Amino acid sequence: MATQSAAKKMVRTIVGEEGWKRLRRYRRKLAGGPAPVPRPAAPTGIAAISHDLCKLAQHFRTDKWGAHRYAQHYQRHLQHLKNDPINLLEIGVGGYSRAGQGGASLRMWKHFFPNAQIYGMDIQDKSFVDEDRIRTFIGDQSDVGSLVGVASEIGTLDVVIDDGSHRSPHVLTTFETLFPLLRDGGIYAVEDTQASYWPEWQGSEDRDDPRTSMSMLKRLTDGLNYEEFVDEDYEPSYTDLNVVGMHFYHNLVIIEKGKNAEGTNKRRVLKERYGDGGTRR
Ligand SMILES: C[S@@+](CC[C@H](N)C(=O)[O-])C[C@H]1O[C@@H](n2cnc3c(N)ncnc32)[C@H](O)[C@@H]1O
């Protein structure tokens, strides 16, 4: 045995590591054993973190992780679309009017969604960010014409993220314009809702002020349950009929679009009000 292993050692020294591996493969082939399955190379660089939005956010230096804690929530709500050929539009590319600055989050989305087209819209020219699968538009989110124009250039909208001016009137105009254009099953996100409470940012100290973005978003939660309203004259709004999920986080709200028509048990439960023993819906 000792002589055999000394001989092996000598051959290995003579033929080198590569030659030794070849010899072993050849010996296995002669013995009729299965060829070893080559292990896929472990991903390196960005590929190694492309499944993890928190790491991608840090890598590309968007404040969606760090200053804010949004990436973890996006991971949960967008994971199911990861390999789909989606169109994602983000309002607010970043960098404001600083030359050559911005695009961090668009690059993060591009690496998280390998088959997606990523679009950005900003009031400033951010065309230097454009590259394969990333395209930017100049547009003001307070202007309905700009929003509709960008949406029609893109086609189907699967995901919309509002990370633009954060001014409540702008957030409302953008939502009222783009939400109806989002596809069924799509996701709409509003970031930095803290600005809703700041008068300096066109928000309000009055948490019930109906003009703020948070008031508008909170109203949508009642709409989820419009089928339970007992006012027989109530006409459901577009959002009542098309919002199926609302998720509130610190400074971030995520809205799921879909057909909201699960029905109600109110006629069976409220017998005195409806007086028909629940036979009528
Ligand atoms: C917070 S930054 C976006 C950061 C970027 N989404 C990220 O996560 O890396 C906000 C951007 O919104 C843009 N913006 C401000 N007002 C806007 C408006 N009315 N319409 C469109 N974009 C606007 C600014 O120029 C700025 O680049």
Overall pTM > 0.75: yes
| Ligand 1 pocket: which of 61, 74, 89, 122 to mutate (most atoms within 8 A of CB) | 122
Lowest mean pLDDT among 41-45, 115-119, 182-186, 216-220: 41-45
Is the Cβ atom of 103 under 6 angstroms away from ligand 1?
no
Least confident window among 26-30, 107-111, 188-192: 26-30
Of residues 121, 147, 159, the one with CA closest to residue 255:
159
From the list 77, 111, 166, 170, the catalytic residue is 166
CA distance 172 to 153: 22
Q: Report phi then psi at 160, rounded to 5.
A: -125, 130
**Looking at residue 39, what is its pLDDT?**
83
Q: What is the pLDDT of residue 26?
A: 77
Supply the pLDDT for residue 1.
54
Helix (H) or strand (E) holding 184: strand 182-191
Here the tokens at position 59 are: 């890598």
**Known catalytic residue at 51:** no
pLDDT at residue 276 tops 80 = no
Find the helix or strand (DSSP H, E) in which 242 lies: helix 238-242
The minimum-distance atom of ligand 1 relative to the CA of 64 is 8
pLDDT at 216 (0 to 100): 98
* SS3 assignment for 119-157: EEEECCCCHHHCECCEEEEECCCCCHHHHHHHHHHHCCE
Q: Is the pLDDT of residue 44 over 80?
A: yes
User: Over the chain, what is the mean pLDDT?
Assistant: 93
Q: Select the more confidently predicted residue: 16 or 63.
A: 63
| pLDDT at residue 173, rounded to an integer | 98
d(CA 165, CA 250): 18
Assess whether the C-beta atom of 202 lies below 6 angstroms from ligand 1.
Answer: no
Report pLDDT digits (tens) over 119-177. Answer: 999 999 999 999 999 999 999 999 999 999 999 999 999 999 999 999 999 999 999 99
